[in-house]
Amino acid sequence: MQLVLDTKGLEVIKKDGVFHIKGEKGSKAISPAKLDSIAITASVMISSDAIALAIQHQVPILVFDRIGKAKARLWSPYFESIATLRRHQVRFAESSESMAWMLELFALKTEAQIENLRYLKSRRNVLNLALGQPISYLRRNSRGFEEFRDKLPEECRQQVMGVEGTLARIYWQAVGASLPSRYTFQGRSRRPAKDIFNAGINYLYGMLYSIVEGALFSVGLDPHLGILHADEYNKPNLAFDLIEPFRPWADRLLIEMCMDKHLKESFFTKNQYGIFLNKEGKAFIIPAFNDFMRSTTTYLHQESTVKNHIYFTAGRLAQRIRVVMEG
């Protein structure tokens, strides 16, 4: 369970070995044993004892900005494996094996994007022909990744990102044109979002980043040592890499909300900077995301929760790095 602190002025303290959350409407106690994480989305006060209690029970405290991106993580300062793995990680990131791994992630991402378009096709029969074209395009042009499989990341990073960007543009154009009229959009807009769909997906991606980064920490990998996103300063670049096959999963969650017309305009606030999810929207999106993380699905012939699949993928990367670098 995730404890969401989304009301300004809340106070969190430790008392009798549990968290006590105090606010204008009263107080409640929550055992750390029941929590997977603590999400802070408003201005709150949390005592140092409460922070220490969370760390003791391996409950990360995540501070999110208004678009859902984790701006801070309070966590144990120690990796959960010896430094040998991270030495291997440096060497792996500079090898052609790392690009082969990255291209496998993109292949999985493209397949998931195609499945999302097929879902839209099943819901919008009038657009069957229109959606058939981008589906064919994605499948055909995703083969363009193969020419980079045996190259070093530094030799082909920009070209790979160019192929991925073209595929993403076709995918988002198809998604944006296929939703009910109140949700349609022209393309991806990040900072700021120009429409409610992009505001929603920005927030979902922000929460997804925190799950992916936590998975990398859990297996002893350094989230800042990326492969494709290696040149972004002071960013969890490996998390930006690992998130790729899971982005369409968040897309699907929001697409279904739109197709079922559960995503309301009242969930969003517009100002001079763009469109953002408001408190009402967060009260809807965050529990839906957490329920989705706990839901069961089959991925790579294995059935488990969505969150476990992300953690398993991080674990497979750590194992792959060990085998390649020690083999």
Could you tell me if 41 and 170 lie in one domain? no
* Residue 118 resides in a domain: yes
* Residue 278 resides in a domain: yes
* Residue 97 resides in a domain: yes
pLDDT, tens digit (0-9, with 9 covering 90-100), for 109-133? 999 999 999 999 988 655 555 889 9
* Total tally of structural domains belonging to the chain: 2
Decide which of 59, 75, 102 is a domain's last residue: 59
Q: How far is CA 237 from the centre of its chain?
A: 13
Q: How far apart are CA 146 and CA 161, in angstroms?
A: 13
pLDDT at 272: 84
Could you tell me if 132 and 15 lie in one domain? no
Query: Region 304-309: what's the mean pLDDT?
Result: 93
Query: Region 19-42: what's the mean pLDDT?
Result: 86
Residue 186 has pLDDT above 80, yes or no: yes
Report the CATH number at residue 22.
3.100.10.20
* Residue 240 resides in a domain: yes
Report the CATH number at residue 177.
1.20.120.920
**Is 281 exposed, middle or buried (CB count within 10 Å of its CB: 0-12, 13-18, 19+)?**
buried
* Residue 76 resides in a domain: no
Q: How far apart are CA 259 and CA 257, in angstroms?
A: 6
Residue 81 has pLDDT above 70, yes or no: no
212-225 burial code (b ≥16 CB/10 A, e <16): bbbbbbbbbbbbbb
Domain membership of residue 246 as a residue range: 84-326
Q: How far is CA 130 from the centre of its chain?
A: 29
For the CA atoms of 316, 319, 325, 327, the dihedral, rounded to the nearest 10 degrees, stands at -110
Could you tell me if 24 and 95 lie in one domain? no
* Residue 65 resides in a domain: no
Could you tell me if 52 and 197 lie in one domain? no
pLDDT at 127: 55
- The strand pairing partners of 298, in sequence order, are 303
Q: How far apart are CA 66 and CA 277, in angstroms?
A: 7
Query: Region 299-304: what's the mean pLDDT?
Result: 92
The least confident of 36-40, 184-188, 202-206 is 36-40
Residue 4 has pLDDT above 90, yes or no: no
Residue 53 has pLDDT above 80, yes or no: yes
**Is 192 exposed, middle or buried (CB count within 10 Å of its CB: 0-12, 13-18, 19+)?**
middle
Sequence length of the chain is 327
Could you tell me if 9 and 114 lie in one domain? no
Could you tell me if 146 and 224 lie in one domain? yes
Decide which of 22, 44, 59 is a domain's last residue: 59
Instruction: Write the DSSP assignment of 49-84 as a string of letters.
Output: HHHHHHHHTT--EEEE-TTS-EEEEE--SS-SS-TH
Could you tell me if 44 and 129 lie in one domain? no
Decide which of 59, 76, 94 is a domain's last residue: 59
The least confident of 106-110, 168-172, 272-276 is 272-276
Could you tell me if 11 and 100 lie in one domain? no
* Residue 69 resides in a domain: no
Task: Give the percent of the chain with pLDDT over 70.
Answer: 93
- The strand pairing partners of 150, in sequence order, are none
Mean pLDDT of the chain: 89
Could you tell me if 43 and 97 lie in one domain? no
Could you tell me if 168 and 229 lie in one domain? yes
* Residue 78 resides in a domain: no
CA contacts within 13 A on the Cβ side of 313: 27
Residue 82 has pLDDT above 70, yes or no: no
pLDDT at 47: 93
Read off the pTM: 0.82
Q: How far apart are CA 208 and CA 282, in angstroms?
A: 14
Task: Give the percent of the chain with pLDDT over 90.
Answer: 63
Q: For residues 253 and 131, which has the higher predicted lDDT (pLDDT)?
A: 253
pLDDT at 80: 53
Query: Region 186-203: what's the mean pLDDT?
Result: 91
End-to-end CA separation in angstroms for the chain? 40
Query: Region 82-94: what's the mean pLDDT?
Result: 88
Residue 39 has pLDDT above 90, yes or no: no
Among the residues of the chain, which ranges form H helices? Answer: 48-56, 84-93, 96-123, 128-141, 153-178, 196-218, 237-242, 247-259, 279-294, 306-326
pLDDT at 259: 94
124 near 258, Cβ under 8 Å? no
Could you tell me if 95 and 47 lie in one domain? no
β 302-305/2-5 pair status: unpaired
Could you tell me if 124 and 272 lie in one domain? yes
Q: For residues 190 and 13, which has the higher predicted lDDT (pLDDT)?
A: 13
